Structure 1
Amino acid sequence: MFNPRPTVRYVAIPGHAPCAVVDDFLLDPHALVARAVADQARFAVDPANYYPGPELDLGRDTALRLDEFFIQHIRRALGAQRTISVAARLALATLAPLELHPLQRLCHRDCAELAPGTGAAAAVVYLFDDARLGGTSFYRPTQGLEATARVLREAHAGIAPDAHAPGYLAASNAHFEQLCTIPAQFNRAIFYDGAIFHAARIDHPTLLDADPARGRLTMNGFFRFRKRSA
């Protein structure tokens, strides 16, 4: 399913582990797109994770294969020793800017509180041809922990973080500084520390489409792991 001889390059993220970038990730990416099209009716919105569109779980077999790739090629760079859990799903960003919940207008992290000695990582595979649909940007808070937590709590409660920013986050704002952006490219995968604030870089939301063959379709992976001893 995945390239057995990948070329992995690393993009530095100031203050964090680097982002691993793998082009030509899937051996047959068009087959996964075709699966998304065939199973479009099974995609569903999960309000618990605030993804701006419907998702489809890819099952345990795909998740375990993704974990095998992570173990063989990625985990050392992200400080992982042993995987605790892994999940994989297809996702399709569809919401128009004015439909976004305030929390969806901010960057986010892919982990809640982690137990000592554990970490989290995430993966995104871009499955669309039009790079204008957007890659992924990484951020750091511009304020202290409590001020940042307050902004996130207010957004979760439905209070807009910035009255002048009703759409997708695509640049620095008063609360978060954009550190770098990984451009989208068909069949490109990125792996990164799930504790880093990040957001899809959607500069052209009018291009979003509910059809998996034309829209911002991605394969997303999520890992929990035991950290490697120092």
Structure 2
Amino acid sequence: MHDGPFFVFRPQPRIERVPIAPGHVALVIDEALTQPQRWVALAAQHRAAFVPQPHNAYPGGELRLPDALSAQLDAFFAQHVRAALGARRTQRMYSRLALATRTPAQLEPRQWICHRDRLDPAPDVLVAACVLYLFRDASLGGTAFFVPRRGARDTDVLVHESGVLAPRDFTAKYGIAPGYMTQSNDWFEKTASIPPRFNRIVFYDGGAVFHGSDIAAPERLSDDPSHGRLTLNGFFVCRRAAR
């Protein structure tokens, strides 16, 4: 894969702070890249290389990016975003292209609920995340944010059992039906949703705030990167800034 200047950010980005949960904001940048269409073309060129990754709950195929490309994203994150999210030095990171394709009937229980990015459980670590929207059809959905309605212990058990219970058993125990989570339920309250816009990038504390793809029209998903819900995601494991 080409490792040239795909991450060419526009100079002096205008960063909007959007509240997403108590004590947390997302940093939103529109018209982020100078040539975003290059990513769509790259994804289409490598369409056959998108594969599901069993270790996470993403509902479709992923294509991990070379470290040289990820480093360009990390440089922008360090310069413009990291401190604003309450983090300092990046310890490690990676990025990927992702294409959501699963129908509601194909989802696993862990994909019926929102999630956090638990790349490192240490208390002095902050796991930041970003999503760059590379599609123009707004009906494919943006990113939703949630807060738990139950205590931490009950929520942790729910999250754990979403990965081990059979679908029928999970629904019977928790009352959660198959499908993408786009609204509040008995377990989580939806606090915000950032709509998609082509070439919009959103940064947030993915390790602390529950979130998920806000896909209300799954029938419009496609496995064609030129027309489907193509995103670029980055994950940054950082030292938490001293308070």
Fold match by TM threshold 0.5: yes
Q: Could you say what secondary structure the match of 2:60 adopts?
A: coil
Uncovered stretches (5+) of structure 2, i.e. residues with no partner = 1-7
Kindly indicate whether the alpha-carbon contact (under 8 Å) linking 1:103 and 1:158 is maintained by their aligned counterparts in 2. Answer: no
Partner Cα distance (1:177, 1:185) in 2: 24
Kindly indicate whether the alpha-carbon contact (under 8 Å) linking 2:120 and 2:127 is maintained by their aligned counterparts in 1. Answer: no
The correspondence for 1:70, drawn from 74, 77, 80, is 77
What is the percent sequence identity of the aligned residues?
44
How do residues 1-230 of structure 1 correspond to structure 2 at under 5 angstroms? Answer: 1-159=8-166, 160-161=170-171, 162-163=174-175, 165-194=177-206, 195-230=208-243
Q: Which amino acid aligns with 1:151?
A: L
Kindly indicate whether the alpha-carbon contact (under 8 Å) linking 2:119 and 2:127 is maintained by their aligned counterparts in 1. Answer: no
Deviations 1:108-142 (A, max 9, x none): 00124522321110000000000000000100000
Q: Which amino acid aligns with 2:237?
A: R
Partner Cα distance (2:77, 2:190) in 1: 26
Shift of the 51–37 alpha-carbon distance from structure 1 to 2, 3 Å rule, reads same
Shift of the 112–223 alpha-carbon distance from structure 1 to 2, 3 Å rule, reads closer
Partner Cα distance (1:113, 1:177) in 2: 25
Shift, 1:154, TM fit: 1.5
Kindly indicate whether the alpha-carbon contact (under 8 Å) linking 1:18 and 1:77 is maintained by their aligned counterparts in 2. Answer: no
Q: Could you say what secondary structure the match of 1:3 adopts?
A: coil
Q: Could you say what secondary structure the match of 2:179 adopts?
A: coil
Kindly indicate whether the alpha-carbon contact (under 8 Å) linking 2:21 and 2:209 is maintained by their aligned counterparts in 1. Answer: no
Question: What number of residue pairs does the alignment pair up?
Answer: 230
Superposition TM-score, scaled by structure 1 size: 0.96
Shift, 1:42, TM fit: 1.0
Shift, 1:164, TM fit: 5.5
Bigger shift: residues 17-26 or 91-100:
17-26
Superposition TM-score, scaled by structure 2 size: 0.91
Shift of the 44–227 alpha-carbon distance from structure 1 to 2, 3 Å rule, reads same
Shift of the 145–163 alpha-carbon distance from structure 1 to 2, 3 Å rule, reads closer
Shift, 1:214, TM fit: 0.6
Q: Could you say what secondary structure the match of 1:54 adopts?
A: strand
Partner Cα distance (1:88, 1:111) in 2: 15
Kindly indicate whether the alpha-carbon contact (under 8 Å) linking 2:147 and 2:189 is maintained by their aligned counterparts in 1. Answer: yes
Kindly indicate whether the alpha-carbon contact (under 8 Å) linking 2:103 and 2:219 is maintained by their aligned counterparts in 1. Answer: yes
Partner Cα distance (1:64, 1:158) in 2: 38
Partner Cα distance (1:77, 1:103) in 2: 30
Partner Cα distance (2:21, 2:54) in 1: 32
Shift, 1:14, TM fit: 3.0
Partner Cα distance (1:16, 1:191) in 2: 15
